[in-house]
Amino acid sequence: MFTLTPSFHRHSFRTIVGLLLVSCLLTQSAVSLAKTVSTRPAVHKPGIKTGSVSKPKSVNQHVNSANAKVNPNAFIPYYNQGRDAYKLEHYAEAEKLLKKSLVLAEQGASQMYPGLQQKNIAIIHNLLGVNAFKLKKYNEACLYLKRAMNTYNRPEYQAANEDSLMSDALILGQIAMYEGRYDEAKLYYQEALPRQEKILGLDHAQTRQTQSILEDIARIDQGSDYLDRLGRKVIHWTHPEQSIKVFIANDSSMPGWKPEDQALVQAAYAEWQLAMENRVRFEFVSEPAEADTIVSWMERPKAVTPAEAEAKQQELRNGECQTQTVDDKLAQDNIVVALNSTEGTPASANSIYNTLLHEIGHSLGLMGGHSSNPADILFPNNRYDDGRRKHLSQRDIQTARRLYVLQPDVTNPEGIHLVRYYDYTTLATQGKEAYNHKAYPEAVNDFQKALAIYNAEPEIRFFLGASLYLQQAYAGALPYLMASASVPGKYQDEALKLTGHAFIKMGEIDDKAGARSLAEQKYQRAYQILNQGLQTLAMKPENKNAILQELSWLNNRLSIPSDTPIQWASQDTRQITNQDQANNPKKRGWFSTFVSSFSASAAPIQGPTQ
Ligand SMILES: [Zn+2]
């Protein structure tokens, strides 16, 4: 006679809780699930029935002489030991014992009342299945669990085995999710759900979880890519000749940090670079100041209660990627990866790797959304991961490649390395702040330093010109103002207006010094430039009015014939310039002096329409 210790069903139920918890460490629901379920009262169920009801030996001897020597209860100690090994998480050991138990139970089956041993065998199948699941032997797990369910589903057993039928369906559903068989997963979860509603209740965290898994499955998209699920703005790196410089932080003081983490980052970047076929290249640098992307680590706060978990949901992420942009230019990415789970245990190398692949995907421009397919690295959580190392799916690769064919709305600046661009934008921002505080000498200093790094943006030339103008350094201001007035941009008409003003101011200074003809030249130039601009540019009304006033003042001053200014400037910019230069060599010389005094970058004045 055997007395079996804790019932198998209760045990297998706990198993389910364990595996669900493992598979969704990230989510708040997982945490609350652990709490709720562990406090649930034990479900008491009968265990394996033993020899007291077995058939008399004499009967069996007639049936099968080979089995005559088999003790029909011989499987029980093996089962009990196997179950104990399983409880201690010695799954390989448990597997051996349970398989031995199964063989013995099958051999002894003929010596028992029909049905009884069948039920015992189902119990062994069930634990073998759960154990195989723990060993990630999914084929075996499916085989045993389906066999157990077949028996439990018989009318005579069903009522007593609702718990097992529920938990087995959940495991089978989970395996199907891991392996991407979503239709099959759906059937298992649909089978489990009514039992969960009945046994656990409608509001139980686990019941709700199954509902949300079914919703996830309904949303799964299996098209060739998921570009349409990303943000509307096209954001990606271009100019592949400029490698993206990556700095990996060595946070040796952080709990859980290991030197090997560095290699994981490099491997994850290598996987993306290979997949992108050199549309992007990465280079690892030893100084954060040289980096376009900084990869660092975080210690995730432990969630103690479900409410706390909810409050900390943002912090409970495995990782995150922040992309900084400056004026629609990619400036710098920061990738942060958690080194521990919500339970406080160290994150596995696989989990760190998977998180890195996901975050690097974001930093390459797969942002503003996620894939709805758990097989993709850009799926938003690791709910359906079984802890194994993931790789980019075909859909991930297709999506990234398609993205890189599109014209970007936001990209890295051309002709300057991002690191330098970041220095440039820092100086430019500083300069604009000084400008707004009317600290013009500081502003001039910042803008000049910024332009020494990068001079492809007219805006900073305008601000430098304006700062100099406001310091009454008109001659110094003019090259910058003229350069920004000559290319289309946000400040073009402003720059034109100030150019005219600067010439007039210089003329006034000449006037005061008694240099009449020099003053005249400057007024002429002011008139010409303002007039040209008025004819060619679309202007803000206030700028247009200011320019019209200046023109009328200059008109009187210069005694220009009455059919001007409109008539005089009705030709396009280039013609006027040519005519001007052809008719007046002296003027041309004066103009050339100005052009050559521009900084090397400054474009000569051109009609904005060209
Ligand atoms: Zn994400």
Question: Between these two residues, 412 and 193, which has the higher pLDDT value?
Answer: 193
pLDDT of residue 316: 57
Question: How far, in Å, is the centroid of ligand 1 from the Cα of 600?
Answer: 44
CB 105 within 8 A of CB 78: no
Structure tokens at 204: 């139980």
DSSP state of 228: G
In degrees and rounded to multiples of 5, residue 495 shows phi and psi of -65, -40
Range of lowest pLDDT (38-47, 257-266, 426-435, 470-479) = 38-47
Tokens representing 84 are 């104990």
388 Cα to the center of ligand 1, angstroms: 18
For residue 338, the CA-to-ligand 1 centroid distance in Å is: 14
Distance 359 CA to ligand 1 centre (A): 6
| Greater pLDDT, 309 or 537 | 537
Most trustworthy range by pLDDT among 410-419, 523-532, 579-588: 523-532
State the distance from the centre of ligand 1 to the C-alpha of 424, rounded, in angstroms: 30
Q: Is pLDDT of 573 > 70?
A: no
Ligand 1 centroid–CA 370 distance in Å is 6
The CATH number of 227-405 is 3.40.390.10
Q: What is the mean pLDDT of residues 98-114?
A: 85
Q: Which pLDDT does position 381 carry in this prediction?
A: 84
- d(CA 386, ligand 1 centre) in Å: 18
- The 3-state secondary structure of 375-391 reads CCCCCCCCCCCCCCCCC
End-to-end Cα spacing for the chain = 101
Average pLDDT over residues 529-555: 85
Reply yes or no on whether the pLDDT at 609 is more than 50.
no
Burial of 589 (0-12, 13-18, 19+ CB in 10 A): exposed
Of these ranges, 18-27, 164-173, 580-589, the one predicted with the greatest mean pLDDT is 164-173
Distance CA 534, CA 466 (A): 20
Q: Does residue 46 or residue 189 have the better pLDDT?
A: 189
Determine the distance separating the centroid of ligand 1 and the alpha carbon of 363, expressed in angstroms.
Answer: 10
> Per mean pLDDT, which range of 16-20, 182-186, 213-217 is the poorest?
16-20
The Å distance, Cα 365 to ligand 1 centre, comes to: 11
Q: Is 466 left (phi over 0), alpha (psi -120 to 50) or beta?
A: alpha
Q: Give, in order, the Cα–Cα distances in Å from 112 to each of 108, 232, 273.
A: 7, 68, 63
pLDDT band at 33 (very low <50, low <70, confident <90, very high): very low
Integer CA distances (angstroms), 142 to 125, 170, 184, 193, in order: 10, 11, 12, 19
For residues 282 and 293, give the distance between their C-alpha atoms in angstroms, rounded to a whole number: 10
pLDDT digits (tens, 9 = 90+) for 197-215: 999 999 999 999 999 999 9
- Rg (alpha carbons) of the chain, rounded to whole number: 38
| H or E element in which residue 309 lies | helix 306-311
Q: Separation of 322 CA from ligand 1 center, angstroms?
A: 10
When pLDDT is averaged across residues 36-60 and rounded to a whole number, the result is 32
* Distance in Å, CA 20 to ligand 1 centroid: 21
CATH H superfamily, domain 8-219 = Tetratricopeptide repeat domain (1.25.40.10)
The 3-class secondary structure across 143-178, one letter per residue, is HHHHHHHHHHCCHHHHHHHHHHHHHHHHHHHHHHHH
Residues 6 or more apart from 317 whose CB is under 8 A from it?
A: 26, 300, 338
CA 378 / ligand 1 centre spacing (Å): 6
**Higher pLDDT pick, 67 / 11:** 67
Which pLDDT belongs to residue 533?
Answer: 84
Q: What percent of the chain has pLDDT over 70?
A: 77
Domain ranges of the chain: 8-219, 227-405, 457-596
* Distance from Cα 377 to the centre of ligand 1, integer Å: 9
pLDDT at site 193: 97
**Between helices 458-470 and 440-453, what is the axis angle to 10°?**
150
User: What is the C-alpha separation between 281 and 240, in angstroms, rounded?
Assistant: 6
Closest CA to 455 of 326, 330, 602: 602
CA of 265 to the centre of ligand 1 (A): 17
* Residue 317 CA, ligand 1 centroid: distance in Å: 9
